[in-house]
């Protein structure tokens, strides 16, 4: 790809101009035509803080100034790039050495790209565990941790080549977005595979491939109709990040007199009675000793993280962001960060991770929420942990006034808490939770009910790779086993999800059923934008409708071990005996509904209704 080659070449040219030992220029390049004209370069090299930069005259670009931090090896250079500036090459003289800085043209329509939304279905992959391509990545030698596939907590060798090879599989399942866990460099001695401890924000981990490989991956995904959501970590870095050997300033990370870990008490941010020390420990405490906690109150760091985010969106043509450990970052920074991202890309989507079972806590972070304390967020979406909790409870608890299916019904009734509930991401599980099939007692019927609900309720559905194969895990948290290898992703695998070889009857059935469900959803526009009407659960069966002026879909979930006959008279607002119905999950002819219809035992029923 021409774009990818130019990216690498431009970065190398920038670095090569610095015979005096400049080690980092970040961002590596920028663009003309961004809506915010400001750009702050971080220059890192021995003694560079003493330099006074000058800019060769360039129409539409102005050097506003520069400043140093505590370290003598960093210089922050502020530029103003007006709307009149054309793409080209800036020449910045820093202490007698000329830095040639690329100012690129934005891709056509970049600012108005449409991000993921209710029309989409997301497939989550862990790159190290999904597939190892036939072409080994170049430049992986010298990394601190090598491949140890036999170790559940080690690197298994999955890479971008393997991910790219199996993009048609994801598209064929009916998914329109793919979310890989972080791909940036994690050069740690152990547990480096998960990606959440960055050691270089601007570099794809060489064991996955190169930046160019990632751009090729996103381009091929788009060609298949699949957008790419990038996992961004703003809260922390890995202890091996190059900053840690030479911090720009002591307060670049949150420092304590002695090591202090976050207590994960996320409600302290909304609790009117919370002790300030508890709030501080939640946001400023570290996750683990190997993950230094970033201080986004430091202005240069806040700018750095924001520009890094924009750089990846523009460079890779992303369709959205998933933001890890969202509320752990400084919340005023999050407000400014999300506002800047949405300023540049008004139709993009950002989904934040706020791992709480309480709608009041999750809704606090969604764009448009009128919060009790005046806090304003600009993130359009959040991961719907409350409804994911309710879904599991609905299918594992006995039904009662406050248990079982009632939790699903009442959970959805709490949508009044959210400014935009349809834009929440509801998921079967993720890389931090036990596998759905195991949590549901390896019950195929209950698993299909869960996926049918994900696909049809008023949310954006997300599936964890391998759910379509009924992959299993321990019931307690065991990350290495939850993130097991995708069958068939490695040469010599006896079971292959991509070809079907070696799959059990249960796996074949689940895969085919999932493929049918999500391919139907792609064209079922009433599921994307229709209203929802639900009826209180009765006798182990829960029914809701998606509808608009022209279209109606009935969804019935029967968790009992016997077929349930439901009278049409119970649903007078949405159904009549003369309506025609088509079962979208079965190859059966359409039928007249009549006075009642039957929901099979331990099954979902999805009917397209016409009259």
Contact 257, 280 (CB under 8 A): no
Residues with a known catalytic role: 324, 353
Tell me which residue of 153, 172, 30 sits closest to 88, measured CA to CA.
Answer: 30
Backbone φ and ψ for 432, nearest 5 degrees, come out as -110, 0
How far is residue 229's CA from residue 240's CA, in Å, rounded to a whole number?
25
Q: Where are the alpha helices (DSSP H) in 115-227?
A: 127-130, 160-165, 167-172, 211-223
Q: Record the tokens describing residue 576, joined without a space.
A: 């009549």
CB atoms within 10 A of CB 587: 6
Contact 33, 47 (CB under 8 A): no
Per DSSP, the residues of 492-522 read T-SS-TTT-TT--HHHHHHHHHHHHHHHHHH
How far is residue 178's CA from residue 227's CA, in Å, rounded to a whole number?
6
How far is residue 481's CA from residue 472's CA, in Å, rounded to a whole number?
9
Per DSSP, the residues of 97-133 read EEEEEEEEPPPTTGGG-----TT--EEEE-HHHH---
Compute and round to an integer the Cα radius of gyration of the chain. 26
How far is residue 438's CA from residue 470's CA, in Å, rounded to a whole number?
8
Tell me which residue of 441, 431, 515 sits closest to 174, measured CA to CA.
Answer: 515
Burial class of 110 by CB neighbour count within 10 A (0 to 12, 13 to 18, 19+): middle
552 forms bridges with which residues in the sheet?
547, 609
3-state SS, residue 255: coil
């Amino acid at each position: 790809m021409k774009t990818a080659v130019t990216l690498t070449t431009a970065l190398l040219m920038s670095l090569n101009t610095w015979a005096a030992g400049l080690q980092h220029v970040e961002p590596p390049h920028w663009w003309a035509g961004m809506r915010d004209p400001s750009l702050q370069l971080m220059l890192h090299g021995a003694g560079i803080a003493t330099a006074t930069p000058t800019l060769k005259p360039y129409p539409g670009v102005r050097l506003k100034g520069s400043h140093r931090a505590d370290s003598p090896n960093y210089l922050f250079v502020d530029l103003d790039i007006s709307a009149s500036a054309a793409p080209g090459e800036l020449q910045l003289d820093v202490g007698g050495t000329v830095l040639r800085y690329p100012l690129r043209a934005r891709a056509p329509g970049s600012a108005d790209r449409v991000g993921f939304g209710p029309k989409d279905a997301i497939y989550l992959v862990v790159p190290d565990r999904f597939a190892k391509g036939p072409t080994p990545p170049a430049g992986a030698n010298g990394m601190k941790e090598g491949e140890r596939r036999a170790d559940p907590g080690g690197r298994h060798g999955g890479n971008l080549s393997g991910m790219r090879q199996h993009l048609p599989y994801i598209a064929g399942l009916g998914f329109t977005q793919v979310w890989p866990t972080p791909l940036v460099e994690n050069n740690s001695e152990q547990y480096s595979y998960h990606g959440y401890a960055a050691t270089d924000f601007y570099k794809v981990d060489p064991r996955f491939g190169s930046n160019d490989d990632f751009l090729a991956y996103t381009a091929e995904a788009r060609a298949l109709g699949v957008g790419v959501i990038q996992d961004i970590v703003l809260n922390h870095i890995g202890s091996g990040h190059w900053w840690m050997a030479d911090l720009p300033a002591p307060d670049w990370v949150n420092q304590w007199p002695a090591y202090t870990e976050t207590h994960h008490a996320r409600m302290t941010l909304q609790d009117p009675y919370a002790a300030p020390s508890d709030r501080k420990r939640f946001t400023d405490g570290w996750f683990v000793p190997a993950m230094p906690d970033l201080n986004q109150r430091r202005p240069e760091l806040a700018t750095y993280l924001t520009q890094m985010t924009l750089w990846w969106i523009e460079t890779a043509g992303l369709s959205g962001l998933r933001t890890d450990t969202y509320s752990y970052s400084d919340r005023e920074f999050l407000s400014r960060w999300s506002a800047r991202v949405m300023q540049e890309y008004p139709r993009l989507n950002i989904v934040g991770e706020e791992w709480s079972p309480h709608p009041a806590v999750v809704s606090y972070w969604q764009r448009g929420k009128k919060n009790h304390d005046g806090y304003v967020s600009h993130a359009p979406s959040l991961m719907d942990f409350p409804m994911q909790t309710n879904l599991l409870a609905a299918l594992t608890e006995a039904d009662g006034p406050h248990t079982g299916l009632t939790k699903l019904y009442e959970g959805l009734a709490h949508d009044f808490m959210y400014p935009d509930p349809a834009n929440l991401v509801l998921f079967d599980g993720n890389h931090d939770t036990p596998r759905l099939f195991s949590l549901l007692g390896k019950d195929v019927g209950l698993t299909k009910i869960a996926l049918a609900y994900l696909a049809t309720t008023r949310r954006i559905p997300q599936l964890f790779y391998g759910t379509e194969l009924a992959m299993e895990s321990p019931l307690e948290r065991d990350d290495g086993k939850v993130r097991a290898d995708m069958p068939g992703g490695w040469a010599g695998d006896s079971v292959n999800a991509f070809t079907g070889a070696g799959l059990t009857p249960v796996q074949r059935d689940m895969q085919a059923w999932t493929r049918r469900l999500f391919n139907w959803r792609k064209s079922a526009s009433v599921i994307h934008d229709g209203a929802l009407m639900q009826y209180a659960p009765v006798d182990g069966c829960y029914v809701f409708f998606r509808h608009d002026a022209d279209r109606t879909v009935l969804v019935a979930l029967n968790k009992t071990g016997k077929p349930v006959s439901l009278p049409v008279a119970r649903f007078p607002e949405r159904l009549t005996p003369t309506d025609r119905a088509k079962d979208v999950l079965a190859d059966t002819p359409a039928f007249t509904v009549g006075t009642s219809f039957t929901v099979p035992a331990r099954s979902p029923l999805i009917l397209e209704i016409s009259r």
